[in-house]
A and B are shown apart, each in its own frame.
Chain A
Amino acid sequence: MADLSHYAFVAALTALVASLALTLLGAIDLRGLRSLSFATAPPAPTASAAMPGNSRQAAGRYSTILIVNAVVFLSASLALRAVESGHGPFSNMYEFSLAFAWGALVIYLYFEYRYHFRTLALFVVPVALALLGYATTVPDEIRPLVPALQNNLLLTVHVLVAVVAYGAFTVAFGAGVLYLVQRKNTVRWLPANTVLDEIGYKAVVVGFPMLALVLILGAIWAEIAWGSYWTWDPKETAALFTWLVYGGYLHARVMRGWRGDRSAIFLIVGFGATLFTYFGNLFFGGLHSYA
């Protein structure tokens, strides 16, 4: 079962690499198309121009299909580990990395479906790939849960909600960066900055309440296991920091003079905070040392 899980992991990794390659090819193709149309001034060619456009669309479609595949394989990999270990597949950095990548891709797919907009994959897929790459460097053997983690319900819900929140923040990050690229609405191959702003906001609307829930579930669990709902442990303070940054974003976004660029910067800082929270336990210790 652990072997099967590993094969599914490798399949997901492969699908993502291929998807990223296709997305990049599509982007290059697009550039070629534009320079072509600049070079040949009269916008006459019909058949010849249609070809690259079609192939670009095809590349985009296939890259989406590959991402769907990666999600399916990652789900399988995590599910197999859950079956093998008998608990939610969230007990160490290997499993948590897979789950984070899974969350980012699922939320990405939702936003792609909702806004028919694939360029975000340029940010989300590399993040997911980096997480999977990182997963290959940490121990992946299935080990029994230490007593503090022996609470299957809370383990599963607390971490599942966390990866959804982190995934949403990854998408928001992509939207924030693209917003800054598109701040003057001068880039033709991107949607209007209002759309990018809305995508970023919608992603935070998913992530912010989820992160609140992560903190609350963590507090409930800490009270049960450690006797105190809040201990200023580094992992929880890092999560609180992240939550505050997105809280700042939500307030900045409705303020005159802070809309647009400045709130987009919050999205980028917020993603930095998310990564800090995610990797923090590796260097600051504390109670939350397992993942």
Chain B
Amino acid sequence: MTISDRSVPTMRTARSWRPGDLASPLWHALASLRLALTLIVTLAVLVFAGTLLDQAPPSVVSDPVAYEQWLGDAGAKYGAWAGTFDRLQLFNVFHSFYFRAVLGLLSTSIVVCTVSRWRGIWKTVFHTRVRATETFLTHARYNARIDTTMPAPETAERIRKSLSGAHYRVTSEGSAGSVALFADKNRLSRFGTFLTHLSLVLILVGAMAGGIWGFEDPRFTVAEGSTRELGLGTPLSVRLDEFADDYHADGSPRDYRGEVTLFDEGQPVKTSVLRVNSPVRYKGVAFHLSFFGQAAVMSVRDGSGREIFSGGVPLALQTRDGQRPVGSFDLPEQNLSVYVIGPRPGAADDRIRAGEVRMELYRDSVRVVSPVILSLREPMAVEGLTFTFEQESRFAGLKVVKDPGMNIIWVACAFMVAGLVMLFYLPRRRLWALCVERSDGGSEVLVGMPAQRDLSLTEEFDRLKARLARALELEPAHNESEGDLHG
């Protein structure tokens, strides 16, 4: 679209306000559209790279050993490039320093743009000049001249009514011989820009707030019938009352559900059924059902027959070969760690059969005795203790999250939507008119709408002209509007 810059400077939207003291080159650079576009494109390129290349999961990044292993797998996929990609942090783009730098720069640019444009836009929105000059009107992108036989005040009044009927807000000023009108619609539209841009900054603020004041345990496991403390500085614990999974005839999952009871300082406070799409929330902490698996209910008695451990052990980890599920519990008095390994799921396992678990005991990371196989409900004495594999059971894996930044995120999203609607679906329209009385008692009306840089106003202007012609009981005598549709 050709953009007309012919409108008289005094009436033009102030696009950039230059704050006197701050008019440094840096400020200008940060406020420039060119920088904004560069940053958007850079961000897009980085996001694209992060989409194309496998990204190491956060749990892997935080664990050097796991990351080495992950990098080995990546090497198989990316070959000789893997080392370069790793050095460039391309396997962790979204947490790299340069990604954060671009986000920081973009936020700065957004804030600077907002500050430097604020006053100009505020002025054009709330302090628009009502009286336009004749030159401005005859040179406006969309303009028309109408001659009537009515005197100026009546003409102006009719125009005012007509434009009000078209949902324009009309103000007028002037004397009997010359009345100026200014009409606009959706005048707050431009503030949609601010709302949209600030929502982006707010999203980053929300994400940072979540990172600083929130916590998460993506793999909190609890076995059926057991209660586990959440930890993470909370007085909460979780009991899994029951877990169930249903399948369709073709083997695809129908439903996973876990009934849990939450305890706050030991008191039961909430019982609810967790599903993938229905988490439970308590005091800002959300519990999401995330995964499940086998568990083994174990009991341990000491030499005197006293029970020193009883509960479900989630077999939520994998043995090193990735074949069998494994879980562990500690016996602090004996300074023992007990590892429980279940049979290989799906396939026949000749070393650990169904209804058996293999148990390994460690003290200070050193294996104490050779591994033993426990069969269901058959007590076995090891190291002066009696271990019993009481029954097979299941565990639920929960993702437990506290994210105080989330509400900021949702507010930001609401701002984003509101801003985009204001900006794109309720665009501002401005029209100036000047009614000047002629010597014959009639009057001449000049009407003009300045070009809007984003879209054509031909249709709107034609509609308004037709309205005005009806209101003034005539056809427009002179039409200088330049249509740019179907040109």
Q: Contact partner of A150 among B36, B50, B52, B276, CB < 8 A?
A: B276
Residue of A nearest to B413 (CB): A216
Asked whether any CB of chain B lies closer than 8 Å to the CB of A278, the reply is: no
Among B48, B256, B410, the one with the most A-chain Cβ atoms within 10 Å of its Cβ is B48
Residue of B nearest to A216 (CB): B413
Asked whether any CB of chain B lies closer than 8 Å to the CB of A148, the reply is: yes
Given contacts A209-B421, A225-B288, whether A198 and B1 have CB atoms under 8 Å apart is yes
Say whether A241 contacts B276, CB under 8 Å.
Answer: no
Residue of A nearest to B249 (CB): A144
CA distance A146 to B484 in the complex (A): 52
Q: Contact partner of B485 among A195, A258, A259, CB < 8 A?
A: A195
Given contacts A151-B277, A216-B413, A227-B286, whether A232 and B484 have CB atoms under 8 Å apart is no
- Of the listed stretches A27-35, A76-84, A242-250, chain B binds A242-250
Say whether B275 contacts A150, CB under 8 Å.
Answer: yes
Give the residues in chain B near A208, CB-CB below 8 Å.
420, 424
Asked whether any CB of chain B lies closer than 8 Å to the CB of A95, the reply is: no
Say whether B424 contacts A244, CB under 8 Å.
Answer: no
Say whether B277 contacts A147, CB under 8 Å.
Answer: yes
CB distance from A262 to the nearest CB of B (A): 10
Asked whether any CB of chain B lies closer than 8 Å to the CB of A212, the reply is: yes
Asked whether any CB of chain B lies closer than 8 Å to the CB of A52, the reply is: no
Asked whether any CB of chain A lies closer than 8 Å to the CB of B179, the reply is: no
CA distance A115 to B3 in the complex (A): 20
Give the residues in chain A near B207, CB-CB below 8 Å.
230
Asked whether any CB of chain A lies closer than 8 Å to the CB of B127, the reply is: no
Q: Contact partner of B47 among A151, A228, A237, CB < 8 A?
A: A237
Given contacts A219-B409, A227-B401, A237-B47, whether A251 and B250 have CB atoms under 8 Å apart is no
Say whether B455 contacts A251, CB under 8 Å.
Answer: no
Residue of B nearest to A155 (CB): B277
CB distance from A114 to the nearest CB of B (A): 10
Say whether A226 contacts B253, CB under 8 Å.
Answer: no
Say whether B485 contacts A254, CB under 8 Å.
Answer: no
Say whether A225 contacts B276, CB under 8 Å.
Answer: yes
Give the residues in chain A near B218, CB-CB below 8 Å.
227
Given contacts A208-B420, A209-B424, A259-B3, whether A148 and B40 have CB atoms under 8 Å apart is no
Say whether A201 contacts B288, CB under 8 Å.
Answer: no
CB distance from B412 to the nearest CB of A (A): 9
Give the residues in chain B near A247, CB-CB below 8 Å.
40
Asked whether any CB of chain B lies closer than 8 Å to the CB of A202, the reply is: yes
Asked whether any CB of chain A lies closer than 8 Å to the CB of B212, the reply is: no
Given contacts A213-B417, A227-B288, whether A201 and B37 have CB atoms under 8 Å apart is no
Give the residues in chain A near B283, CB-CB below 8 Å.
none
Q: Contact partner of B253 among A115, A147, A197, A252, CB < 8 A?
A: A147
Q: Please report which residues of chain B, range 239-280, place their CB below 8 angstroms from some CB of chain A when the two chains form the complex.
A: 248, 250, 252-256, 275-279
Say whether A148 contacts B277, CB under 8 Å.
Answer: yes
Residue of B nearest to A277 (CB): B51
Q: Contact partner of A255 among B33, B44, B401, B406, CB < 8 A?
A: B33
Asked whether any CB of chain A lies closer than 8 Å to the CB of B294, the reply is: no
CA distance A276 to B47 in the complex (A): 13
Say whether A234 contacts B51, CB under 8 Å.
Answer: yes
Asked whether any CB of chain A lies closer than 8 Å to the CB of B487, the reply is: yes
CB distance from A110 to the nearest CB of B (A): 14
Given contacts A194-B484, A227-B288, whether A147 and B399 have CB atoms under 8 Å apart is no
Asked whether any CB of chain A lies closer than 8 Å to the CB of B2, the reply is: yes
Asked whether any CB of chain A lies closer than 8 Å to the CB of B478, the reply is: no
Q: Please report which residues of chain B, range 399-438, place their CB below 8 angstroms from some CB of chain A when the two chains form the complex.
A: 399-401, 403, 406, 409-410, 413, 416-417, 420-421, 424-425
CB distance from A65 to the nearest CB of B (A): 23
CA distance A82 to B409 in the complex (A): 33
CA distance A191 to B279 in the complex (A): 54
User: Which applies to chain B's interface (DSSP): helix, strand, loop or mixed?
Assistant: mixed
Say whether A244 contacts B37, CB under 8 Å.
Answer: no
Give the residues in chain B near A176, CB-CB below 8 Å.
none
Asked whether any CB of chain B lies closer than 8 Å to the CB of A60, the reply is: no
CB distance from B36 to the nearest CB of A (A): 6
Asked whether any CB of chain A lies closer than 8 Å to the CB of B162, the reply is: no
CA distance A205 to B421 in the complex (A): 10
Q: Contact partner of A143 among B94, B252, B401, B485, CB < 8 A?
A: B252
CA distance A229 to B484 in the complex (A): 44
CB distance from B275 to the nearest CB of A (A): 7
Say whether A201 contacts B250, CB under 8 Å.
Answer: no
Residue of B nearest to A232 (CB): B94
Given contacts A194-B456, A227-B279, whether A251 and B413 have CB atoms under 8 Å apart is no
Say whether B50 contacts A224, CB under 8 Å.
Answer: no
CB distance from A176 to the nearest CB of B (A): 14
Q: Contact partner of B275 among A147, A195, A240, A259, CB < 8 A?
A: A147
Residue of B nearest to A195 (CB): B485
Say whether B3 contacts A205, CB under 8 Å.
Answer: no
CB distance from B192 to the nearest CB of A (A): 10
Give the residues in chain A near B413, CB-CB below 8 Å.
216, 219-220
Given contacts A209-B424, A223-B406, A254-B33, whether A280 and B253 have CB atoms under 8 Å apart is no
Give the residues in chain B near A146, CB-CB below 8 Å.
252-253
Given contacts A146-B252, A197-B1, whether A255 and B43 have CB atoms under 8 Å apart is no
Give the residues in chain B near A251, CB-CB below 8 Å.
33, 36-37, 40
CA distance A202 to B33 in the complex (A): 21
A-B contact pairs, 8 of them (CB 8 A): A148-B276, A198-B485, A208-B420, A213-B417, A216-B413, A220-B413, A237-B50, A248-B40
Given contacts A147-B276, A194-B487, A202-B455, 12 further A-B contacts (CB under 8 A): A144-B248, A144-B254, A147-B255, A148-B276, A194-B484, A195-B484, A198-B456, A198-B485, A205-B425, A227-B218, A245-B44, A254-B453
Which B residues are within 8 Å of any A CB, using their own CB? Answer: 1-3, 33-34, 36-37, 40-41, 43-44, 47-48, 50-52, 54-55, 94, 207, 216, 218, 248, 250, 252-256, 275-279, 286, 288, 290, 399-401, 403, 406, 409-410, 413, 416-417, 420-421, 424-425, 453-456, 484-487
